[in-house]
Amino acid sequence: MKTKRKSTRLKKSKLENLFRHENGTYYARVKVNGKSKERSLRTEDYNLAASLMPETLKELRGAAEEHRAGTLAEALDAEAHREDPDLKPATRHYYQQLAKSITLTLPEPIANKRLPQVTVADLRTWRDQHAKGASNTRHNGALALLRRVWNRAIERREAATNPADALKRLQPVKRKWQPPTREEFAELVSSILAQGKSHSKASAAAVEFLAYTGLRISEAQAVVWGDIQDDHLIRRSAKNDMIGSVPLIPAAKALLTRLKDSGVPHKPTDPVLLIKSPRIALEAACERLKLEHIRVHDLRHIFATRCLESGVDFPTLAGWLGHKDGGILAAKDYGHLVPKHSAQQALKVLA
């Protein structure tokens, strides 16, 4: 009876499904499976109410296959492991890592909610927790994965709207980092070797190899001895499906010669790196030497910086790093690290 009395106080407007209450507030009303659903738009402004109608009607109507939707946790796991031919293996692996980080910070009651029932408020609760322990860039990646989850549900008509779209990306924080000097890098390698552990030599060699070639860790892991040529090595990039070459600077050649002379397996199919990653050894050495924290990816930055300090131009460096933009990104990322090189280049300009 209450609903009926309320409905009689709603008058049609000139826009279909838009009604005006006698108190001036606009309502959206629609029939779903023979039943009338309505919702207050909380405004007395006709134009604002009209702009709110499309999204409100979507929510009121729901999705035709909503009853088939699983929980958020189930949908997240399914999307992270879905065999999408448009995704590179490295991207799929990244999504699987993100799914784990989301699950760890997702309150159980929200994780167990059916996907169409999860609200923007629920996602904001998750966001407050996740953003505390993740970088802004990684948090943005997690948000992108959640958006994919709902977009897939919308395609299957299991959800009508995407609440993750209401959350904004966080502004990535630009890291101010100075590479170690040549002397500090030499001490770093010596410190790793001095530990005398079973993996110390392999860790030190991996640190040098990454710093002398500028390869990403995934690219370095794929290098076999058959990829090593007289003056360059073959690089295979999972990031942009490129096969290219990287010149072997004198330090890289000397390292590879030392490795061969030490008796490491070096058949054409043998990997050059003898460990998956030198991360733990690298972090421990930085702590012992009281150096600023150096990530494995920073070894690539060290290579780029040394190249620029030696007079290599940005377009050439970009090719060695596997960039496709002709040097724009390299100039943006590394230009501030080499003021001496920049000053030397300025002297060449004739006015």
The answer to whether residue 5 scores a pLDDT higher than 60 is no
The answer to whether residue 336 scores a pLDDT higher than 80 is no
pLDDT single digits (tens) 259-284: 999 999 999 999 999 999 999 999 99
Q: Which percentage of the chain shows pLDDT scores above 90?
A: 59
Mean pLDDT for all residues in the chain: 88
CB 270 within 8 A of CB 256: no
Residue that is written with structure tokens 């029932």 in the block: 117
Name every residue whose Cβ is closer than 8 Å to that of residue 131 and which is 6 or more positions away in sequence. Answer: 139, 170
Q: Which residue has the higher pLDDT, 30 or 342?
A: 30
Predicted pLDDT at 245 = 87
What homologous superfamily does CATH list for 68-166? Tyrosine recombinase, N-terminal domain (1.10.150.130)
Within its chain, how far is the Cα of 56 from the centroid?
Answer: 32
pLDDT single digits (tens) 318-328: 888 888 777 67
CB 275 within 8 A of CB 201: no
Q: Where does the pLDDT of residue 242 fall: very low under 50, low under 70, confident under 90, or very high at 90 and above?
A: low
Predicted pLDDT at 238 = 60
62 φ/ψ sector (left φ>0, alpha ψ -120 to 50, else beta): left
CA distance 163 to 122: 9
CA distance 215 to 120: 41
DSSP 88: -
CA distance 176 to 159: 42
The answer to whether residue 190 scores a pLDDT higher than 90 is yes
Mean per-residue pLDDT, 73-83: 94
Name every residue whose Cβ is closer than 8 Å to that of residue 232 and which is 6 or more positions away in sequence. Answer: 245, 246, 247, 248
Predicted pLDDT at 4 = 47
- Cα→Cα distances 302→135, 145, 176, 344, Å: 22, 32, 14, 20
Predicted pLDDT at 1 = 43
The answer to whether residue 45 scores a pLDDT higher than 90 is yes
Q: Provide the residue ranges of all domains of the chain, joining segments of one domain with +.
A: 2-61, 68-166, 182-301
As a CATH number, domain 182-301 is 1.10.443.10
